[in-house]
Amino acid sequence: MYRHLIALLWEDRYATLRVLASHLLFVLILIAGNLPGARKEVGEVASGFVLHLSAYSVISYLLFTGTRGAVSRRAAVTVLTVVAMGALDEFVQSYFPYRGASVWDWLVDVAASLVTCTALWTYWPKVRKKPAC
């Protein structure tokens, strides 16, 4: 079981699946985050800051490890994609009277991506040299 999880999270043969999972997660965020009352209920468990930070860190991880090419290309594609996703998320929220768009939320999304990509960029070459489980 552990090997399969590691394979899903790291191996190149599942890269496309990770990119698809990142897009699916984003769509789920758009849908669930804009349901009436849903954000308020979730807000009792975790703040908006924590939600944005964790969601966009996971999306960044999935995109970075799912994108092919040099580490710099992976990081650039990931950050630019999260910039667009975060902006779209806030744009969609602006259309709901019970939600509101926030530049600060978007900045948290981008910061989460930058931190995640920096950590992966630093760690990636070391991971790739190790033999598989």
Residue with tokens 């990509």: 117
User: Is residue 96's pLDDT more than 90?
Assistant: no
| CA–CA dist 91, 93 (Å, integer) | 5
| CA–CA dist 51, 80 (Å, integer) | 20
| CA–CA dist 114, 91 (Å, integer) | 21
Tokens (6 digits) for 72: 């710099």
pTM (2 d.p.): 0.86
User: Is residue 9's pLDDT more than 80?
Assistant: no
Length of the chain (residues) = 133
The pLDDT tens digits of the residues spanning 48-91 come to 788 899 999 999 999 999 999 889 999 999 999 999 999 999 99
